[in-house]
Every structure is written in C-alpha cells, then in structure tokens.
C-alpha cells in the first residue's frame, strides 16, 4: 500500500519565491493519497494565493490565528494533532529565526510551538542570507532541538546570484517526506547492493549484455536507505537516477563490479546481489571495431567470477541476499541457489514477471521456507523485502 495513503500533513508556506514549489509539493502529496492542510503566512500569500492551495488540496487553507472556522477556535493546536508531520516549505531566514527563539506571533509559528508531530523545514533564501552566521547559528540550534532540516540546494537563485540557498525541488521534498515516514527497520546497518546488467565488451562498440533495467535493485537500494541504512550501490550500465542518500558506484563489466564490491565490503552488515551479472565474457577484447567481414561466427567465451558466491564464502561475509531469475521451476532453482551458495535469503522471480518492467512478483526463500509476495510495483516489493530482511537480522542477533 502507498506509504502516504491515509496520512495527513501540515504544509507551512512562508514568504519566498519557492512558494510555487510548495504548490507542486501539495499536488504530489494529494496525488499519492495524503491529506494536506496548508498554513499560509501573510508573506507566503504574497507569492501564491490561498485559492491555489485550496484547489490543489481540496481542503480549507489556514492563514490566521483568529480563524473562526475551527469549532473550538483552536486551529493553532488542533491542526497538528494526528498529523504525520509539519513541513515548512519554503522556510525563510526570518521564519527560521522566529522558530529558533520560540516566537508565536502568527498561526504558523504558534503551530510549530504547540505541535505534537515532527517538524521539518526546507530553507529557501539568498545565499548571503543562508551563509550569514546568524542563520547558521539558528539552523544549528533548530537541528539540536530536533527539527529536521531539508537542504538547501546549491544553484541559480531568483535574485540572479548562485550558491547555497535554493529550496529543494518539490519531487525531492516528496521523496524526503516518503523516506521520513518509513519505519527505520535498518537503522545503523550498512548495506551494499549490486544492480542492473553488466556489459562485456567484444570491441569498442559491441558486447554481451542483458535486459535488466536496474529498477528492482535501485528500488531496493532506495527502500534500504529509507529504512535508515547507509547504502552503497554498485550499478551496471543503466539510465536511472540515484536514490536520495545512496552512494552510487558505476561499473560496466562483471570484473569491475566484483572489484567495487570487494573494495567496499569491509564493515557491511548486508550484501544484496540484485544485478544480472553476465556469466561469461568474450575471451578477447578487440582494440578496434571489428570489420563486418571479419566478425567471428563463433565467440570464444570465458566465465566471469560469481560475485555473490565469492562474498558469501568469505570468513567475514555479511548477511548475504541473492536473487534468482528463472524462466520456470522457480521454487526448485531458487531454493537450490539458497542452499548451494549458503545464503540467508534468496529472492526468486520469474523473468517474465520482473525483468525490465515496473512491477514484480517474488517469492522469498529463507531457512524457514518459501514466502510468496503479491504482485506489486517494485517500490512496494522492495519495501516488503526490507521488512522480511529486518526480521531475519533481528532473529539472527536475538
Ligand atoms: O533490473 P530489473 O529489470 O528490475 O530486473 C530485476 C531482475 C529480474 C534482474 C532481478 O529481480 C533479479 O532476479 N536479479 C538476479 C538475476 C540473475 O542474474 O540471477 P542468477 O540466477 O543468474 O544469479 C543468482 C545470484 O547470483 C544473483 O543474486 C546474482 O546477482 C548473483 N550473481 C550471478 C552471477 C555472477 N557472476 N555474480 C553474481 O553475483
């Protein structure tokens, strides 16, 4: 189920040009199934009007401490009760200063002070205002007070200058909120993953590869990061954006993938091999493009190392999770891989269910047997794999 479904957020909008991004964020949240109560400051309403937010959220917009629409006149208290979080985006330098010192001279500052839900702020201001020691002091204090600071980003600013102070994009804030509301099942863990295909060159233009898109591995990397893990992702050649908070190392061949995995293995708690690694590579790599007339009719191949098997048999092996992609007899082959490679968990999938597409239907194989999961989008499947993995880790350390 969508993580936002049935959750309510309070979105505070203060006076900055980035208020237009708050409108987009409200739209994304509502589309994902969340309820959004917008609280607009007087300055915020100079940039985007209440009607826009009302139309996007389908709910009344709150602007005044003296609003009479709340039956008990307690909007400044009731709005955050039961909310999953209060996010102020954009948060101006002035607003951060007020927040630091506990001011309560309008609805939004009062709500922040009287809240009983987590508070996140997305700063947005000119780079000099951001770098000013006063702002830096305030942000440090807010952080120490438990306020979560999202950003800011660096780049071109509305004032024409360039530097730190841009508010995160709406999609980035949406991802951050999504991560924020996930249970931190892997807090304190370090997870290393492989994802995507490998490409085994034959000459400068040709090579052997497969149609893994990397979507399953990237979704799992994201789910691990959102569950609080420190994540390193060794990725074959794919055109996917790096999940937020994930360290990505790009490789092309199986040998390079093995090298990066071994280089980054020390201190990892979990290794998850999602990559569809080419089992063979051309025996010879031609320096120049092979001419059409001289392309060999048969290819000399040589086996690639099995990265997962090598990691799993090390004395210092982390908890190892393998994937098994089969075209038939999934249970038989996946269980054989689990036992053969001595893995803590194998995620089995039929190629026709998971390769290249946005959804997957997997069966989890562990020491206790087979646990089939329902067909779902890869983000949802990844979340379920993370829950199962966290349970196994807990049992292991109990
Ligand atoms: O990338 P997508 O389009 O989202 O598709 C997802 C997927 C179908 C590729 C994925 O869900 C999946 O099943 N990945 C494993 C594919 C695979 O190569 O399976 P295998 O049965 O050949 O390998 C078994 C395990 O050993 C895998 O964990 C694999 O990463 C690992 N392996 C295999 C060969 C090798 N040389 N080194 C390895 O580490």
Q: Tens of pLDDT along 259-294? A: 999 999 999 999 999 999 999 999 999 999 999 888
Cα 2 to ligand 1 centroid, rounded to whole Å:
27
Residue 77 has what pLDDT? 82
Name the domain boundary from 180, 198, 219: 180
- Residue ID of nearest Cα to ligand 1 atom 37: 306
Same-domain check for residues 360 and 225 = yes
Answer yes or no: is 106 within a domain: yes
CATH of the domain at 328: 3.40.50.10300
Answer yes or no: is 2 within a domain: no
Answer yes or no: is 292 within a domain: no
Same-domain check for residues 213 and 72 = no
Tell me: the pLDDT tens digits for 294-346?
887 888 999 999 999 999 999 999 999 999 999 999 999 999 999 998 899 99
Same-domain check for residues 337 and 263 = yes
The answer, yes or no, to whether residue 76 has pLDDT greater than 80, is no
Pick the atom of ligand 1 nearest to 278's CA.
36
As a whole number, the mean pLDDT across the chain is: 95
The answer, yes or no, to whether residue 63 has pLDDT greater than 80, is yes
Tell me: the pLDDT tens digits for 124-159?
999 999 999 999 999 999 999 999 999 999 988 888
Domain extent for 359: 190-286+297-396
- Residue ID of nearest Cα to ligand 1 atom 27: 323
Same-domain check for residues 227 and 153 = no
Answer yes or no: is 316 within a domain: yes
178 lines ligand 1 (CB under 6 A): no
Residue 232 has what pLDDT? 98
Answer yes or no: is 302 within a domain: yes
d(CA 232, CA 336): 28
Same-domain check for residues 201 and 240 = yes
Same-domain check for residues 356 and 271 = yes
Answer yes or no: is 1 within a domain: no
Same-domain check for residues 204 and 338 = yes
Same-domain check for residues 101 and 201 = no
Tell me: the pLDDT tens digits for 11-35?
999 999 999 999 999 999 999 999 9
Name the domain boundary from 120, 151, 180: 180
Answer yes or no: is 30 within a domain: yes
Answer yes or no: is 3 within a domain: no
Residue by residue, what is the 3-state secondary structure of 242-305?
A: CCCCEEEEECCCHHHHHHHHHHCCCCCCEEEECCECCCEEECCCCCCCCCHHHCCCCCCEEECC
The answer, yes or no, to whether residue 71 has pLDDT greater than 80, is no
Same-domain check for residues 87 and 17 = yes
Cα 290 to ligand 1 centroid, rounded to whole Å:
30
321 lines ligand 1 (CB under 6 A): no
Contacts of 110 (CB under 8 A, 6+ apart): 65, 76, 104
The answer, yes or no, to whether residue 1 has pLDDT greater than 60, is no
Cα 11 to ligand 1 centroid, rounded to whole Å:
42
Q: How many CB atoms lie within 10 A of CB 248?
A: 16
Name the domain boundary from 180, 213, 240: 180
323 lines ligand 1 (CB under 6 A): yes
Phi, psi of 105 (to 5 degrees): -110, 10
Q: Closest Cα partner for 44 from 7, 84, 88, 101?
A: 88
Could you tell me the pTM of the whole model?
0.89
The answer, yes or no, to whether residue 169 has pLDDT greater than 90, is yes
Residue 217 has what pLDDT? 98
Same-domain check for residues 98 and 201 = no
Query: What is the set of active-site residues?
Result: 159
Q: State CA 189 to chain mean position distance.
A: 16
Same-domain check for residues 175 and 44 = yes
């Amino acid at each position: 189920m969508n993580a936002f479904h049935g959750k309510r957020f309070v979105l505070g909008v203060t006076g900055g040009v980035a208020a237009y991004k708050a409108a987009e964020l409200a739209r994304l949240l509502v589309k994902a199934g969340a309820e959004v109560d917008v609280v607009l400051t007087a300055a915020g309403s100079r940039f985007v009007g209440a009607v826009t937010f009302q139309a996007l959220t389908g709910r009344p917009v709150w602007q005044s401490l003296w609003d009479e629409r709340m039956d008990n006149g307690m909007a400044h208290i009731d709005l955050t009760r039961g909310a999953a979080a209060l996010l102020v985006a954009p948060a101006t330098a002035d607003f951060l200063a007020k927040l630091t010192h506990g001011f309560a001279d309008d609805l939004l500052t009062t709500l922040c002070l009287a809240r009983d839900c987590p508070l996140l702020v997305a700063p947005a201001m000119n780079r000099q205002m951001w770098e000013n020691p006063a702002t830096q002091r305030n942000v440090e204090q807010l952080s120490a007070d438990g306020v979560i600071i999202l950003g800011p980003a660096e780049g071109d600013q509305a004032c024409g200058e360039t530097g730190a102070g841009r508010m995160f994009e709406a999609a980035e804030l949406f991802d951050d909120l999504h991560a924020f509301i996930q249970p931190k099942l892997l807090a304190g863990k370090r997870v290393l993953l492989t994802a995507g295909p490998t490409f085994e060159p034959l000459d400068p233009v040709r090579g052997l590869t497969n149609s893994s898109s990397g979507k399953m591995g990237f979704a799992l990397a994201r789910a691990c990061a959102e569950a609080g893990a420190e994540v390193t992702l060794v990725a074959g050649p794919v055109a996917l954006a790096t999940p937020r908070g994930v360290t990505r190392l790009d490789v092309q061949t199986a040998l390079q993938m093995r090298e990066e995995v071994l280089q980054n293995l020390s201190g990892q708690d979990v290794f998850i091999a999602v990559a569809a690694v080419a089992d063979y590579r051309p025996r010879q790599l031609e320096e120049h493009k092979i001419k059409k007339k001289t392309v060999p009719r048969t290819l000399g191949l040589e086996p690639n190392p099995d990265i997962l098997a090598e990691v799993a048999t090390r004395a210092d092996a982390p908890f190892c999770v393998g994937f098994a992609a089969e075209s038939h007899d999934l249970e038989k082959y996946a269980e054989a891989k689990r036992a053969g490679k001595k893995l803590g968990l194998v995620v089995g999938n039929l190629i026709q269910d998971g390769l290249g597409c946005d959804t997957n239907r997997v069966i989890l194989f562990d020491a206790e047997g087979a646990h089939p999961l329902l067909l779902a989008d890869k983000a949802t499947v990844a979340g379920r794999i993370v829950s199962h993995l966290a349970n196994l880790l807990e049992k292991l350390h109990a």
